[in-house]
């Protein structure tokens, strides 16, 4: 046992050197205004609450209504006792929102991505994937038991070459994210879909940082393509401000997954109250997206401009994400510490979340940021 435990050592040398660990901050509040840590208020640039809806009164009241009607939990898997009427209605609502045939809701998008490929892939298939896709996709792809081939990040010429060399496989899947969360880059998804049509491949997209955040109407990456005929996954815990993940697409695919996807049928369903919250967020997006999106993008542009003027190097992302490129992990944690000391909460990414000897500090300026909060952020940036 001792030799086993000796293998389980996390390298915290940077945290020890700086006397600061940015991970697992103990937050004593919701995300309504400023978050509380150790009884002090912090401006939240760390959460994925793009539209500022996680503490919206209508959303909270909807979830309370759900608890009153359905209790704390269904205490069962969806295939047994955990499939409530509101569960089914919310799946139908999401399908309609995305303009896809059908959808199923998982306890998390990680679970959805992890279990998707092992359910649908055969040994004679191939999965071609952007080598920057999320860890949940990578882990799911590796578990599929078929040939896998990465392509260079958002490089359509390289993707086409890989597709040309993959025509002997039974089925070809091409996997990408819509918005790459550490840098804010948006995939050229319309081009990927066209290449899939040309080479008879199935596109698979994780729209976790796209749904509710990009597109003219907040419907994510699918607003950039016509007649999408592929597999769609997304988190419901970012701009949708609740919990869970979704897989959506062709009705036959979804029906097959309902009975064959281990991440769904062997896991306790989300509490039904969450589906009330999801439905209410979709109501608000359909009603207020233009207004909330404008605030989100305005805050992003103001903070981004201040960082550029001060000399910070930023990733060239087109999504509502600001990524400060740092020299190495030490500089990354050091910058996050300075922001923390100025009561700004951010997300530092160091290896293995980013390539070796690199680092990124990510800032997400949600729609709930007030003008005076953005002014404070800009003032701190100037001082740094």
227 shares its domain with 293? no
Q: Is residue 211 part of a domain?
A: yes
Asked if 220 and 178 count as a contact pair (C-beta separation under 8 A), the reply is yes
244 shares its domain with 169? yes
Q: Is residue 340 part of a domain?
A: yes
Q: How much is the average pLDDT of 66-95?
A: 96
Which of 282, 315, 350 is the endpoint of a domain? 282
Q: Is residue 4 part of a domain?
A: no
Residue-wise DSSP of 324-384: EEESSHHHHHHHHHHHHHTTEE-EEE-TTSS-TT-EEEEE---TT--HHHHHHHHHHHHH-
47 shares its domain with 62? no
Q: How much is the average pLDDT of 261-270?
A: 96
Q: How much is the average pLDDT of 186-206?
A: 97
Q: How much is the average pLDDT of 1-12?
A: 91
**pLDDT for position 130:** 97
pTM for the structure as a whole: 0.95
317 shares its domain with 236? no
Domains of the chain: total: 2
306: pLDDT strictly greater than 90: yes
**pLDDT for position 189:** 97
Q: Is residue 124 part of a domain?
A: yes
Mean pLDDT of the chain, nearest integer: 96
99 shares its domain with 36? no
Q: Are strands 172-177 and 126-130 parallel, antiparallel or unpaired?
A: parallel
CATH code of 366's domain: 3.90.1150.10
Which of 265, 282, 299 is the endpoint of a domain? 282
């Amino acid at each position: 046992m001792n030799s086993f435990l000796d293998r389980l050592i996390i390298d915290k040398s940077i945290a020890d050197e700086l006397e600061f660990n940015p991970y697992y901050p103990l937050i004593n509040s919701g995300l309504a205004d400023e978050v509380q840590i150790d009884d002090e208020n912090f401006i939240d640039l760390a959460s994925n609450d793009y539209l500022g809806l996680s503490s919206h009164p209508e959303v909270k009241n909807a979830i309370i209504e759900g608890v009153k009607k359905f209790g704390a939990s269904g205490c069962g898997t969806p295939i047994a006792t955990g499939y409530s009427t509101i569960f089914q209605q919310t799946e139908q609502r999401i399908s309609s929102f995305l303009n896809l045939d059908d959808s199923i809701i998982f306890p998390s998008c990680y679970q959805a991505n992890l279990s998707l490929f092992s359910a649908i892939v055969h040994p004679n298939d191939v999965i071609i994937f952007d080598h920057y896709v999320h860890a949940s996709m990578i882990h799911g792809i590796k578990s599929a038991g078929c040939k896998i081939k990465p392509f260079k990040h958002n490089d359509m010429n390289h993707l086409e070459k890989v597709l040309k060399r993959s025509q002997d496989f039974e089925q070809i899947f091409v996997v990408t994210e819509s918005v790459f969360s550490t840098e804010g880059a948006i995939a050229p998804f319309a081009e990927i879909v066209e290449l899939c049509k040309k080479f008879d491949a199935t596109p698979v997209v994780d729209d976790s940082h796209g749904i509710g955040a990009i597109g003219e109407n907040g419907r994510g990456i699918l607003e950039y393509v016509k007649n999408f005929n592929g597999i769609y996954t997304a988190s419901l815990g970012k701009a949708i401000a609740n919990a869970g993940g979704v897989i959506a697409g062709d009705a036959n695919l979804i029906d097959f997954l309902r009975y064959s996807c281990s991440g769904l049928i062997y896991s306790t369903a989300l509490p039904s109250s969450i589906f009330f919250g999801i439905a209410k967020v979709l109501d608000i997006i359909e009603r207020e997206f233009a207004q909330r999106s404008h605030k989100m993008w305005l805050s992003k542009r103001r903070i981004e401009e201040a960082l550029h003027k001060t000399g910070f190097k930023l990733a060239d992302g087109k999504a509502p994400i600001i990524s400060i490129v740092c020299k190495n992990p030490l500089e990354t944690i050091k910058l996050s510490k300075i922001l923390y000391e100025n009561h700004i909460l951010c997300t530092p990414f160091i290896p293995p979340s980013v390539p070796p000897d690199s680092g990124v500090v990510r800032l997400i300026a949600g729609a709930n940021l007030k003008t005076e909060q953005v002014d404070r952020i800009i003032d701190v940036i100037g001082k740094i």
